[in-house]
């Protein structure tokens, strides 16, 4: 990765607009790494496991951390000034903390040793919240998860920037303006 590439995470609970923002950024030519949890969920469902996170949270989290770490490593060859991620590695331990589950020390070590430059946190948004085959969390659960994400990123030394509700364009404008002001 060139020296000027900034790694930027879009984090937040379920149904906060992360993927919509990432897809919009992608359509504008920005380099983006997509969320991988749906892929892990669909692979497990193909093996007859309806909700791997609920059945085996440690295995699910290990797969997510490995996938997000691979995304992080793959970006080393990138040449973009900005690289956006749909969730970051600290999301993994925040979700484990949310359910009160143990995870190995190497989770935290991996997260501490592979840093993002900026983290944007999208707050709960009841008007856009939906559930589906892979997203089973209610709005109320999403609100609780948001608090765990805030705490989780802080635990790893990140200062998160909260993205206000608004149109996709306004939210992107806010994010890009914040990035510009960080330079």
**Which residue, 18, 37, 145, 147, is CA-closest to 89?**
37
Rounded-to-integer distance, Cα 168 and Cα 183, Å: 23
pLDDT of residue 128: 65
pLDDT of residue 39: 83
Rounded-to-integer distance, Cα 135 and Cα 4, Å: 35
State the CATH architecture for 6-182.
Answer: 3-Layer(aba) Sandwich (3.40)
For the chain, 183 residues long, the average pLDDT of each consecutive 10-residue run is 76 88 95 86 81 81 92 74 94 94 94 96 79 65 92 97 96 96 81
pLDDT of residue 14: 82
The sheet carrying 118-122 orders its strands as 31-33, 82-86, 6-12, 118-122, 160-162
SS (H, E, C) the chain: CCCCCEEEEEEECCCCCHHHHHHHHHHCCCEEECCCHHHHHHHHHHCCCCCHHHHCHHHHHHHHHHHHHHHHHHHHHCCCCEEEEECCCHHHHHHHHHHCCCCCHHHHHHHHHCCCCEEEEECCCHHHCCCCCCCCCCHHHHHHHHHHHHHHHHHCCCCEEECCCCCHHHHHHHHHHHHHHHC
pLDDT of residue 1: 46
pLDDT of residue 131: 61
pLDDT of residue 135: 56
pLDDT of residue 2: 47
Every domain of the chain and the residues it spans: 6-182
pTM: 0.89
pLDDT of residue 52: 74
């Amino acid at each position: 990765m060139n020296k000027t590439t900034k790694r930027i995470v879009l984090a937040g609970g379920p149904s906060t607009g992360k993927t919509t923002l990432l897809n919009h950024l992608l359509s504008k030519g920005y380099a983006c790494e997509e969320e991988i949890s749906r892929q892990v969920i669909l692979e497990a469902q193909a093996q007859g496991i309806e909700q791997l996170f609920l059945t085996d949270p440690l295995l699910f989290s290990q797969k997510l951390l490995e996938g997000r770490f691979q995304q992080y490593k793959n970006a080393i060859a990138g040449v973009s000034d900005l690289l956006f991620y749909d969730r970051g590695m600290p999301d993994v331990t925040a979700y484990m903390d949310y359910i009160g589950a143990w995870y190995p020390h190497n989770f935290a070590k991996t997260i501490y040793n592979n840093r993002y430059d900026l983290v944007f946190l999208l707050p709960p948004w009841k008007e856009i919240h939906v559930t589906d085959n892979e997203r089973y969390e209610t709005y109320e659960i999403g609100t609780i998860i948001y608090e765990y994400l805030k705490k989780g990123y802080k635990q790893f030394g990140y200062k998160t920037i909260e993205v206000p509700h608004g149109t996709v364009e306004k939210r992107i404008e806010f994010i890009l303006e914040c990035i510009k002001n960080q330079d």
